[in-house]
Amino acid sequence: MDAFAPSPDVALRPLTVRMATPRGFCAGVDRAIQIVERAIEKFGAPVYVRHEIVHNRHVVDRLKGLGAIFVKDLDECPDDRPVVFSAHGVPKSVPAAARSREMLFLDATCPLVSKVHVEAERHHANGRHVILIGHAGHPEVVGTLGQLPEGAISLVETVEDAEVFQRPGDAPLAYATQTTLSLDDTSEILSVLKRRFPELPDPHKEDICYATTNRQEAVKRLADGSDLVLVVGSKNSSNSIRLVEVALRSGAADARLIDDASQIDWSWLDEVSTVGITAGASAPEPLVEAVVRALQQRFAVTLADDPGEPETVTFKLPRALTS
């Protein structure tokens, strides 16, 4: 916590600030950002990136400043410049199109998302119809749906969807999940599906990525005893949104999603004595530090690190960037 400099000693109202552990960048996000940075170093600017590399405005803006150009579709990329696929994964048709154009492409798909793709393909190869639990339109869901032929996966978003899902024909069933969902919500949906289709395996937390699970467990600890939980993350970040939901469900009187310190509404803290702070898996730590400094300018802050195990997971970079 040495990075947080205290404010001058003035008569400020006391405020306890509890810091979640773990918080912020996960291994998949760190790897994806490094891929863009190293591609720019190795091949020069510009490097094209299909979709936001991760869902954080500050990260995207910084990479733009280094020479990254973010596009929605591969058609917007020239043949002679490298293109990076985002951490959320892409349908199989995208790398196939890049190969047909003889493009240099780098796949920054999180290895844990790739694991979901492999599992979906394995289920399909074994003749099972796959139920995908996730949010329609999210890039990760689009990428997973695009791993199998049309009609081979059914998307289930809610408990209500699970109640009305109909098995296609007499095919045996399997399931896969979006990695950034709430563990609790996923368990509820799977419980309904399991009741209706007993052949499905029991819910288990390994279907949600380790980073999502760890951050949700950390925010549950924060919510117990915090009047307000601040989640640093962008509004299009699924895992950050889930952290707000988990905090509220776990007992926090209030929880708010903020991109950075400038988005704090100070009226939120009028009756607050304890604030919990965490960050989504795509939010850089300097944004968290800036939130703490902003609090220290207005309150007599006592900082406390909540108990939690630091993460040591790392993922290898593509060989094209290390050779």
Which residues have a catalytic role annotated? 140
282 Cβ partners below 8 Å, 6+ apart? Answer: 25, 29, 54, 55, 56, 59, 233, 234, 237, 239, 240
Residue 269 per-residue DSSP state:
G
Nearest partner of 210 among 10, 46, 36, 28, judged by Cα: 28
CA distance 272 to 80: 55
CA distance 232 to 292: 11
Q: What is the rounded end-to-end Cα distance, in angstroms, of the chain?
A: 37
Specify whether the CB–CB gap between 148 and 124 falls below 8 A.
Answer: yes
Joined together, the tokens standing for residue 209 give 């990525």
